[in-house]
Amino acid sequence: MRAKTLAVILAVSVIPTFAQNRLEHRDGTTEFTSRGGAAGTSAVTLYQRYPGDQICGLNTVGQMVLVLQDQNVTTAEPVTFEIRGSDPTYAQGRPDYDPTTSGGPGLIASAGPFTLTFPTPASGLISAAGWTITFNPTVSLLSLTNPLPPGTPNGDVYGGVAVPANAAWPNDGVSEHISTTSGIVNPGEQMNPITNNTYTLIPNQSGMAWQRDTTLNATPLAHVPNRAYMTSFRWVEDVLQPYAENAVAFTGVNSGQNPNYGYAGIFPYLDRQDANLNPIPDNIGFRVRATAPAGYVSLLFASPALLPPFQFPGIGGYLCIDIVTFAPDFPLLLGSATTQAVATNPLSPAGFPGEPTTTTEACFAPLPLGPIGAILQGITFYAQAFTYDPTTGTGNLSCAAAIHF
């Protein structure tokens, strides 16, 4: 791990005609750049996990977007980008790096190796750049020889970047930007430390970021602590993701942006307290990104049950939530509506290229759940958005996304 020095930001992008709805889980701040803890004498692959219960119904990847840093731009180093499935022989899920033994999907797609030319910084040798990797043709998960099953962990997808060994690290070498905190007690994204082990069953380990020492051919190990690599996917289908809202807890550097689209959105902290032990529970909300024009209406539905994705006649996308249970038994999130107001969303100063003009987004207002937090403990809610496009007269379903209380 090395302190982030952001000298230059570069967006490298070839914008194709397909929809590009970005999904990432990161709290909006960038504290460090990292090789996942691997020694400089080892090549390492860094993976960001997208659990199956956060991407249910998504099928087509058009792009990967990530931010890398080179400690010395005068030396050229090749990097490779990967998309992998989950190892079905590992009960809690991990990148499937050896399909000959796992019987799983293994490597789904790759691009590279590329010798990236980082921009020359104004002073010093360190340079950072945001990269957009376009897959042509797009990557269809349904067309795989071993299609991904629904659910977690076997339906998980991993975005990875393989960086070469560099014995001069940390004075030279390629690494990736991460979000975390500088805290010692609970370093990592600002999520609930009690319920964030849904994907690992290991106390206070979310298992969302991974690294593999490829020189030692080592088994992938969970990247500790709970950091988030700045790797995201842009999907052709509409995407939905949960977020947490807490103006007291999320205040910027080392504490996450507010609203917080990182792990706190998946694992909200309804028992959060301030330094004086006063309750400051998270509120929750959702953001939908779609390809409908500005002015569309989105409806949000929630259910405690997730189904294998299937297409609903006359509607684009895949239905994932259980339509039997989302009404009227659970009206808490049912029927929320919002009107699109912003056509594009320039991303954080940490270096992501801006959103393509084909993307629009809308946020559902956060709900204050603190008073009923005790009732929700241990419950998982799944949400899915339906978006109506007034121009074409058609509707599309986003992916379904989970909140683990």
Tell how strand 11-12 and strand 127-140 pair up. Answer: parallel
pLDDT at 15: 40
* Residues 6 or more apart whose Cβ sits within 8 Å of residue 151: 52, 53, 56, 306, 308
pTM for this predicted structure: 0.89
Secondary structure (DSSP) of 307-341: EEEEEPTT-BSEEEE-TTTSSSS-TTSTTEEEE--
Neighbour count for residue 37 (Cβ, 10 Å): 12
Give the chain's end-to-end CA distance (angstroms, integer). 31
H or E segment to which residue 375 belongs? helix 373-376
- What are the pLDDT digits (tens) for 21-44? 889 999 988 888 999 888 899 999
Per the CB < 8 A criterion, the answer to whether 44 and 211 are in contact is: yes
Asked whether 85 and 105 are in contact (CB, 8 A), the reply is yes
The torsion angles phi and psi of 20, rounded to 5 degrees, stand at -140, 85
DSSP character at residue 98: -
CA geometry: angle at 318 spanning 315 and 304, to 5°? 115
Residue with tokens 């691009």: 111
Q: Is 342 helix (H, G, I), strand (E, B) or coil?
A: strand
Interacting residues of 321 by C-beta distance below 8 A, sequence separation 6+: 301, 302, 303, 305, 306, 307, 382, 383, 384, 400
* pLDDT level of residue 347 (50, 70, 90 thresholds): very low
183 pLDDT band, cuts 50/70/90, is low
CA 289/CA 280 separation, integer angstroms: 29
Closest CA to 327 of 302, 308, 306, 309: 302
pLDDT of res. 122: 75
pLDDT above 70 covers a percentage of the chain that reads: 82
Q: What is the mean pLDDT of the chain?
A: 82
Is residue 328's pLDDT more than 50?
Answer: no
Query: Which DSSP symbol is given to 1?
Result: -
Of the candidates 404, 70, 9, 51, which has an alpha carbon nearest to the alpha carbon of residue 244?
404
Q: What is the pLDDT of residues 201-251, one digit of tens each?
A: 988 889 999 999 988 877 767 776 788 999 999 999 999 999 999 999 998
Confidence of residue 7 (pLDDT cuts 50, 70, 90): very low
Average pLDDT over residues 381-400: 87
The kind and range of the H/E element at 373 are helix 373-376
Cis peptide before 88 (omega within 30 of 0): no
Is 49 in contact with 208 (CB distance < 8 Å)?
A: yes
Query: Residue 336 pLDDT more than 70?
Result: no
Q: Which amino acid is located at 150 in the chain?
A: P
Pair 238, 399: CB distance under 8 Å: yes
Our measurement of the distance from residue 289's CA atom to the centroid of its chain's CA atoms, rounded to an integer in Å, reads 14
Question: Two tokens at 265?
Answer: 């959105």
